[in-house]
């Protein structure tokens, strides 16, 4: 048992200086590393410019779609307004003609009722058709 402990301690003591030296070793920053970082930055800048161009193109397409949507909605509302205006302007003469015919009809009924007061035969006819 003592032998195992001594062996383990010996191994630890032997490798301890190597571990400490590897931690203190500095990695030098070379010119190649600097150039590599610069190239990487250039590539990232180029990618950012491409993304910006694509986003601008997408924004322009969305703007065009909005303009088209406003145009279509305006056309639909204009069409609905025209249909309502046309319906009213078409129905107005028909309403006036119907009112005129109703007035004439009521005048004829009044004339027949007045004449039925003196004419017995006309009174019977008007009673049969439920006017008098």
- Report how far apart, in Å, the C-alpha atoms of 32 and of each of 39, 42, 82 are: 10, 15, 75
Tokens 């309502």 sit on residue: 84
Q: Which phi and psi (to 5°) does residue 2 adopt? A: -65, -35
pLDDT tens digits for 19-69?
555 555 667 778 889 999 999 999 999 999 999 999 999 999 999 999 999
Q: Tokens for 31?
A: 């010119």
- Quote the pLDDT of residue 90: 84
pLDDT tens digits for 88-98?
888 888 999 99
Cα–Cα distance, 123 to 132 (Å, whole number): 7
Range 5-25 average pLDDT: 68
Which one-letter DSSP state was computed for residue 2? H
- Quote the pLDDT of residue 4: 80
Q: pLDDT tier at 1 (50, 70, 90 boundaries)?
A: confident
């Amino acid at each position: 048992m003592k032998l195992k402990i001594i062996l383990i301690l010996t191994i630890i003591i032997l490798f301890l200086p190597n571990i400490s030296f590897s931690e203190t070793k500095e990695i030098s920053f070379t010119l190649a590393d600097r150039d590599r970082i610069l190239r990487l930055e250039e590539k990232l800048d180029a990618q950012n410019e491409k993304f910006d161009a694509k986003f601008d193109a997408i924004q322009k397409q969305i703007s065009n779609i909005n303009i088209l949507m406003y145009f279509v909605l305006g056309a639909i509302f204009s069409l609905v307004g025209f249909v309502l205006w046309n319906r009213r302007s078409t129905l107005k003469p028909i309403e006036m003609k119907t009112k005129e015919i109703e007035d004439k009809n009521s005048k004829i009924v009044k004339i027949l009722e007045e004449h039925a007061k003196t004419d017995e035969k006309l009174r019977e006819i008007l009673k049969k058709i439920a006017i008098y």
